[in-house]
Amino acid sequence: MVNHWERPGWTPDTRAFYWMLVPDSEPFAAQVLECQKALENLRFDAVNRASLHLTLGRVGDTDTLSQAALRSLGAAARDAAPASFDLVAVPLTASTGAIRYSVAPWHPILELHAALDAAGKTLGLPQERSAASLRPHIGIAYCNRPVPADAVRASIAPLRSLPHVLMRIHDVQLVELRRRRNSYTWTTIHRIPLR
């Protein structure tokens, strides 16, 4: 695995607008904490509860979007918002730079992405990546140095049998995302309720 914090295009000064889902589920948060404690031996950077998120897409950098454009985008997204939906968080897997939950089903996430993208396109603000490149997940720990993948696989193997966690998704957020040390933080610009 590689150091997540050495991703190209991100510096401590980077600020960008993203659409994201922020899970609000006590059972999920409790299971995440259980997993993080079980993985402490890896010495990864654990994601705190307030920073758990599912990234849908990047809208643009803070220096390219005006407040008026953000207001228009929020209004267009409200008009286009699909119905609320359930997600199942499935423990536990890894990518090259993080340990994460998979989520299912993808269909309502892709429908939401498409609705937000269509709303943005009417204003000349499409998301920077297409739905085809979206791999929905919720990261719980970021890799902070090169680590053999075998060690990570061995650590997460016992956690893969934990029960799946059901979550209701009621809204989507447009946020200004930034990085502070080895974590992400954000300010919510718009919280769009789903029908």
Answer whether residue 71 shows pLDDT above 80.
yes
Average pLDDT for 41-46: 97
Answer whether residue 127 shows pLDDT above 80.
no
Q: Please count the CA atoms within 13 angstroms of the CA of 79 that sit on its side-chain side.
A: 11
Output the six-digit token pair for 32.
Answer: 């995440």
Q: Please count the CA atoms within 13 angstroms of the CA of 63 that sit on its side-chain side.
A: 3
Q: What pLDDT score does 10 carry?
A: 76
Helix (H) or strand (E) holding 17: strand 15-21
Q: What is the chain's percent helix, strand, coil content, to nearest 5? A: 35, 35, 30
Q: For all residues of the chain together, what is the average pLDDT?
A: 93
Distance between CA atoms of residues 149 and 155, nearest Å: 10
Provide the 8-state DSSP code for 116. H
The residues pairing with 19 across neighbouring beta strands, listed in sequence order, are 57, 174
In order of 15, 17, 137, 183, 184, the CA distances from 26 in angstroms are 29, 27, 18, 21, 21
- Residue in 152, 181, 192 with CA at minimum distance from that of residue 51: 181
Quick: pLDDT tens for 4-34.
Answer: 988 877 777 889 999 999 999 999 999 999 9
Q: What pLDDT score does 138 carry?
A: 97
The percent of residues above 90 in pLDDT, for the chain, comes to: 78
Output the six-digit token pair for 186.
Answer: 């954000």
pTM, two decimals, is: 0.92
Pairing of strands 85-94, 98-104: antiparallel
- Dihedral of alpha carbons 73, 78, 83, 86, sign: positive
Q: What pLDDT score does 128 carry?
A: 77
Q: What pLDDT score does 144 carry?
A: 96
Q: What pLDDT score does 102 carry?
A: 96
Output the six-digit token pair for 4.
Answer: 């997540």
* First and final C-alpha spacing in the chain: 40
